[in-house]
Structure 1
Amino acid sequence: MRQAVAENLTAVVRDARAGDEQAWSSLVEAYGPGLRAIARRFRIPPDQVGDLSQATWLQLFNGIDRLQHPEALGSWLAVTMRRFCLHAVAGRERECPMTGLDEWLVQPGDAPETGLLRAEQAASVRRALARLPERQRQLLWHMATDPDARYTEISARLDIPVGAIGPTRARALGRLRRLLLDEERASHYTHQSGS
């Protein structure tokens, strides 16, 4: 089914716009697993994943008439789901994971708008990381590039007491999350005032 949707995405989106329930079911079947994977990368509790997915589909339902490029649907859904996940994480004051940043890099075969979107997201993360204090930036870098490293190894590499790693990581991720949200708000405000 996913292959069929990918091959006929324009037609499936057109049918969904017209209210075809089978078209909507096909879209959910094709893109639903990807949305759940995004939520897992944000460590969203399983009982909230369905709510965030549903909110993402509701956004599409309400805005599908404005979707000008059906081939960008997957990117649009992914960005919308990430935003809902970020807001959910911010609301709970939980850590925002560093895993999953690789997906923001441009992949061979991406549509031009997908590559541009990923490049913009990667640039936002790099800018936010650059604004972190050096110790926090180093800690996040080591934990992101070697996720299986034990705290004792990180402590030895960075000269940080083992007991300080968890709290330092939590502060760093909280600050990174706030910087990214501030940048997203500023970008949204700039786009609104420019229109």
Structure 2
Amino acid sequence: MRDDPSVVDLVTRARDGEKSAWDELVERYAPLVYSVCRRYRLTQPDIDDVGQSVWLRLVEHLPGLREPAALPGWIATTTQRECFRLIRSTSRVEPVDLAESADVPEPAIAEEEVLRHERRRILRAAFAELSRKCQVLLALLMQDPPAPYDEIGRTLRLPIGSIGPNRARCLTRLRQTPALAVLVADGPDEPTRR
């Protein structure tokens, strides 16, 4: 994931002034900025301020970014720094896990956040490759609480006894999608190997 050629391509095109590449960078990494901000329990206006600061800093630093593939880490780290700057300047909000994260170096937190974001992005891409019927079935089974089988059967016009086998087939298809196959082939990430 660190050497994602699509990231390198987007950064290169954005450096060259291509607006669509810049828009795609913002769309792709806005959820990462948001998730880092939510860890610090910032209000929505504060999250918006931090986001604006992050994107402004990216505009300033994009031409000098030496490793385009490292952009997700740069965004996560910059977002954390902007959150800390906001917290210090307002003294209104404290980080969520201040005691727990005191012994974790900042780059490790940023790396975990980037990996989590990339895994979610890959899973969403793989999910989008499934048939509509599989998407609905898996969504109904994964909602909290899961939909009852009789409701799933009515919604999808399936006998209750075929829901489990259909779920198994849909999960197999999900695992075999090109997007998810890359993630599965890479194996567990370093932070989860403890």
TM-score (norm 1): 0.48
Of the two structures, which has the highest relative contact order with CA contacts closer than 8 Å and spacing of 6 or more?
2
Larger radius of gyration: 2
What TM-score, normalized by structure 2, do the two folds share? 0.49
